[in-house]
Structure 1
Amino acid sequence: MFSEPDDPAVVDRMRAAHTVACAALGAAPCPPASGGTREAWGWQGRTLGKPTTGPYGPGWLRVVNSPVEKVSSKLWTGPEDAERLVPRHVPRPRLHLVREWAEGDDVYRAELYDFVAGGALSATPALTEAPRLTAAWWSGLRTAIGGLSTVRTERTAVRQAYLDRAMPKYLAFLGRPVPTVPPAWSTAHGDLHWANLAGPQLSILDWEGWGMAPAGYDAALLHAYSLAVPEAAERVRREFSDILASEAGRFAELVVITELLQSAERGDSQELVPALRQRAREVSGLGR
């Protein structure tokens, strides 16, 4: 999740679109006493989600916005594809209804999900404090990631062309060439960070970008977003030791470090940069 956009025009436009979406899907915003003032914003106000009540009971209505010329089929259809193709034993809120409409040069997409009690474990992708999670929660996450990795799909979360271009650039500080071809590929959630994980009952949120990625990608991404909290990072390493200690896992860590260093150039999670660079040296065998 991200903070409310600075541009009041974006805020007003997205709130108005959410009102339109409620009417289109037969949902109503929850009253303030029931948490109805809660808002979850996406990057630069691209998405807005709020709790609702409607035809399926308590729900979460999310609105996505894109300029017509920038509609991405990968992100636009991800939640519907996940609802159709990912087995139900991978815990996530069920997607019930979808509506799309256009207003001028903008396209909107409304998605009505089951409400997830407890909510996301973090307000931001990167942790600021260690969450208190049960052994059953961690076991469920391992099982979910393992089950998802075997799902057959033509969707792509990470492209080889990106690895060939970005890894040499953002890992140049290592002082030696890095491989850019993963040992293996598997299906990943593609955005497995702490703002997309719910508890105390496990649920995995935001299925926009799922698809094929270097094997071990989800565990590597979760670990990278844990680096600011050593206790949490150590727990991720312990829970996913079989993945992260493998050749594929080490490569996946370099992939996500590349992505997050690039993202930091845009101002995202800049506090992680020193730890990301240090972790890249460790994974590459260049010392601690």
Structure 2
Amino acid sequence: MWARRTWTDGDHGYLAELYDRITAPTITTHEPILRKAPDLSDAWWDSLSTALDAIAAVANNRVAVRQEYLDRAMPHYLGIPIDTTVPAWTAAHGDLHWANLTAPVLTVLDWEGWGSAPAGYDAALLHSCSLLVPDTAAQIRHRFAHILGTPAGRFAELVVITELLQTTTRGDNLELEAPLRARLRFLTER
């Protein structure tokens, strides 16, 4: 099934494309932040790991995260002097959070922002969106240690923390600010 719809609202134009109808529910509804532990099978986690590896290997000329943004935003929102040079770039979904993942069968939704990002970006974003559920955050750190446990993965976490701290200045994700700052301290005091 494929469908396409365009529309305008004031000065803004929109495009929606439907490639397939998904019947499995998303893990969270209406927000990226996890508030209770999901009941996910080992097979689901294995599928996610396989998907992230496959996404990272895709050659592309799209951009999900811009170096210029990092140069400006990381020192400002992290509040520390930091080398903003990305250690490694890979393809990323670019918006991998709980409202874009289905269960019990994994489907990754919402692909308009995919492109190049710091290696480990998707795992880092999912981890940061899980900080209110420490057991799930720990499970992500364990399952994706091969990504998050590397210098590139730690840098990706700092990128995501930067982005999410920026959202708190607009009044969004306020409940994540304290856990994000705690994770920032952990990553930078190592």
TM-score of Structure 1 vs Structure 2, range by shorter chain: over 0.9
Alignment partner of 2:27 out of 121, 126, 131 = 121
Q: 1:112 maps to which residue?
A: 18
Pairing 1:140-219 to 2, within 5 Å after superposition: 140-172=47-79, 176-219=80-123
- Relative distance call for 1:200 and 1:105 in structure 2 (3 A) is same
Amino acid at match of 1:142: S
Gaps in structure 1 of 5+ consecutive residues: 1-55, 57-95
Q: 1:14 maps to which residue?
A: none
CA distance in 1, matches of 2:165, 2:85: 19
Instruction: Using the TM superposition, give the Cα deviation of residue 157 of structure 1 relative to its aligned residue in structure 2, in angstroms.
Output: 0.3
User: Which one is further off, 118-127 or 218-227?
Assistant: 118-127
CA distance in 1, matches of 2:129, 2:9: 36
Q: 1:98 maps to which residue?
A: 4
Amino acid at match of 2:51: A
The TM-score, its normalising length taken from structure 2, stands at 0.94
Instruction: Using the TM superposition, give the Cα deviation of residue 283 of structure 1 relative to its aligned residue in structure 2, in angstroms.
Output: 1.0
Amino acid at match of 2:146: D
- Relative distance call for 1:103 and 1:240 in structure 2 (3 A) is closer
Amino acid at match of 1:145: L
Greater relative contact order (Cα 8 A, min sep 6): structure 1 or 2?
2
Q: Which has the higher strand share?
A: 1
CA distance in 1, matches of 2:111, 2:165: 23
CA distance in 1, matches of 2:61, 2:53: 18
Instruction: Using the TM superposition, give the Cα deviation of residue 192 of structure 1 relative to its aligned residue in structure 2, in angstroms.
Output: 0.4
Coordinate RMSD, CA, aligned: 1.4
Return the index of the structure with the highest Cα Rg: 1
CA distance in 1, matches of 2:59, 2:184: 30
CA distance in 1, matches of 2:64, 2:16: 22
Counterpart check, 1:258 vs 2:162: yes
Amino acid at match of 1:190: G
- Relative distance call for 1:105 and 1:199 in structure 2 (3 A) is same
Instruction: Using the TM superposition, give the Cα deviation of residue 108 of structure 1 relative to its aligned residue in structure 2, in angstroms.
Output: 3.4
CA distance in 1, matches of 2:132, 2:55: 27
Pairing 1:232-243 to 2, within 5 Å after superposition: 232-243=136-147
Q: 2:150 maps to which residue?
A: 246
Aligned partner of residue 203 in structure 1, secondary structure: coil
Instruction: Using the TM superposition, give the Cα deviation of residue 104 of structure 1 relative to its aligned residue in structure 2, in angstroms.
Output: 6.0
Gaps in structure 2 of 5+ consecutive residues: none
CA distance in 1, matches of 2:9, 2:149: 49
